[in-house]
Amino acid sequence: MSSPIITTDLVALDADFGSSVDTVITELATLVHNTGRASDIDGLAQPAIERENKAGTGVPGKVAIPHCRSEAVSEPTLAFARLAKPVDFSGPDGDAELVFLIAAPADGGKAHLRILSKLARALVRDDFLNTLREATTADEIVTAVMEVINAEKPRKKKPADKSTTTSAGTATAAAGTAAAASQSSASTSDADTDPKAATEQQSSGKRTRIVAVTACPTGIAHTYMAADALTQTADKRDDIELLVETQGSSNNEPLADADIDAADAVIFATDVGVRDKERFAGKPVIESGVKRAINEPSVMLDEAVAAANNPNARKVSGTKSNSTPSASADAEADAGLGWGKRIQQAVMTGVSYMVPFVAAGGLLLALGFLFGGADMANGWQAITTNYSLTNLPGHEVDVDGTMMSFERAGFMLYFGAVLFAIGQAAMSFIVAALSGFIAFALAGRPGIAPGFVGGAIAVTLDAGFIGGLVTGLLAGLVAMWIGQWKVPRWLGSLMPVVIIPLLASLVVGLAMYLLLGAPLAAIMEGLQNWLSSMSGSSAVLLGIILGLMMCFDLGGPVNKAAYLFATAGLSTGDQASMEIMAAVMAAGMVPPIALSLATFLRKSLFTPAEQENGKSAWLLGLSFVSEGAIPFAAADPFRVIPSMMAGGAVTGAISMALSVGSHAPHGGIFVLFAISPAWGYLLAIAAGVAVSAVTVIAVKQFWPNRAIEEAAGQRNVAA
């Protein structure tokens, strides 16, 4: 590396960095900027604050480790502050006194992240924390940190030695025990486990083999701290053999199949799902977020021992197979969730996988209209079938025995028809993709085939996207049920690739043709007729509802439900469906643009990080990326979200009142050529943006945000 990861210029001892998380992070980011390692203070502080808003980074020992990867960071850097006034980072044992800002370049290599993870692992050691607390100079801090960073990684122990994941020193058992006492009531692990069984297990002298997986969203710090907290706690016990797999950002070695097969129980301490989860199928499992493994490792180990001895303990679902690729993280349904939540997540997974088909297909349809003209849609099949680059069509084309006249001719008409044909092919998959990936989210890979089959049948029977939702859920539940059958070992290898897809497809197909197809088709027809009949106040009311939904959670389940409603009807090509699509897309563009405008108009009402974010949010809004408003909403939801919903409702109402229609499902202002009337679309967006911007400014002005006021006060003092 060109320079040490921490220097004395990056250390602040007994510093007063204010009383809020945002000000502490901003001050630490300032230290990094002042050393020339970050090009912009807010460019570093904002990602770290956003990460903090998702989940506090406080850990046992009154320590906090805000961290992020940022384009503003030029090299991996640690900034440290020993605070004169502790600040609440949501730690398990009170406000944080010691704070490390871990800053990694956005494109940093894995070697950089391995260095950062070493620090995270050292934070579970009492001796290291004591050194940080007792140091009298910045040099002592730098020396202690560099000793940790430069320490050689111990060799991996064999199972008999109880651990693969190690770090120097011993863990602090007191912090884990105290956190366990304070958080046991909020435990998210399996209720069937019995701590008494763990005590009996320990006294019997029998060793329980446990494997664990740890993972956090960024994969920098909590991933490795959880691994070491579990490992070092297990090292002190004679009744456990523990192996840990870290699924973080640095170089991680997966658990061997033989070690997994020999395990008596599994611990999943993750916030982002488990990669290749099917490797653990059938094993008793304890699941929680990654922070619980840091805060109460001993309790989790006791629960794993109890689960290993409980024949009724919850087990990892699915069927183990080494012949197929690993499932996506979206397929890792949490078996500990309630059925309502699991079904909601499955539907959202289906929508997320469907969107690329919709976006690609819809934009290609729009480009087809751009090149070939709007009337080309009436004869695109005949044009693509009967003509070629060497035989271009004229204005008159024979369409099913009838001569039809088209506005354009030659290459433009032919090329437009080809684009339209490709778009239609992509759009024809949307119901099948929705159904297939809903089933995938519930049952993993064995659910994909029956889900796609069910979706295709739904299209054949005119059951539309409602049929796709039903077949996806049915296929996933049936495949999941079949996957739980106890079968002979020789048949087990055939289950995920032959038996489950075959039987689940048969069940779904028979159910659709014999029972569900006709009723679902009738519901879909009624919905389409209702949409086609909308006019006047009823259309405006629908626009208001869709606008509110699009701005409620900015890319979350409610937003996605409105988007699914719009895109599912777009393939029909009727005017009502295109008007709904236009209202949804216009309303979804409002929040980022409005918030960007508000930061320019009243800069003082927003944090420096929000001001920086506002510089690019307008472009995200113009592109129909509602998520551009999430940083604002996450930091100040009670002011931002209602303000955005007000503007979204106005936009949806105006769009529907003016009968604005869109042939494109995505693209925002950049597909204006596919929207008619374009002036009505722009007017609706402008009105919504104005309402949201004025509202959010007014709310922030008359109902001030205390965190922003504190940040402003700190800046004034510094000045």
Catalytic amino acids? 67, 216
CA 531, 535, 538 angle in degrees (round to 5)?
A: 80
**Residue at token pair 């406000």:** 95
CA 186 to chain centre: 23
Do the beta carbons of residue 275 and residue 326 sit within 8 Å? yes
At 172, which amino acid appears?
Answer: T
What SS3 class is residue 130? helix
621 is written with which tokens? 């809004």
54 is written with which tokens? 């998702």
Do the beta carbons of residue 221 and residue 65 sit within 8 Å? yes
**Residue at token pair 């080809």:** 418
Please give the Cα distance from 406 to 408 (Å, whole number): 5
311 is written with which tokens? 């024949």
Q: Phi and psi at residue 155, in whole multiples of 5°?
A: -65, 150
The per-residue b/e assignment along 511-550, b for 16 or more CB within 10 angstroms, e otherwise, is bbeeebbeebbeebeebbeebeebeeeebbebbbbbbbbb
Which residue blocks in 487-556 are alpha helix, DSSP H?
A: 489-492, 500-511, 517-533, 537-552
> Which of 116, 113, 218, 223 is closest to 165 using CA atoms?
223
* Diameter of the chain measured on Cα atoms: 92
Do the beta carbons of residue 228 and residue 165 sit within 8 Å? yes
For the stretch 673-676, contacts whose Cβ atoms lie closer than 8 Å and that sit 24 or more positions apart, written own/partner, are 673/366, 673/369, 673/370, 674/365, 674/366, 674/369, 674/370, 675/582
Please give the Cα distance from 102 to 51 (Å, whole number): 12
**Is beta strand 77-87 parallel, antiparallel or unpaired with respect to 396-399?**
unpaired
- Got the DSSP string for 42-95? HHHHHHHHHHHHHS--EETTTEE--EEEETTBSS-EEEEEEEEEEE----TTSS
10 Å CB burial of residue 436 (0-12, 13-18, 19+) is: buried
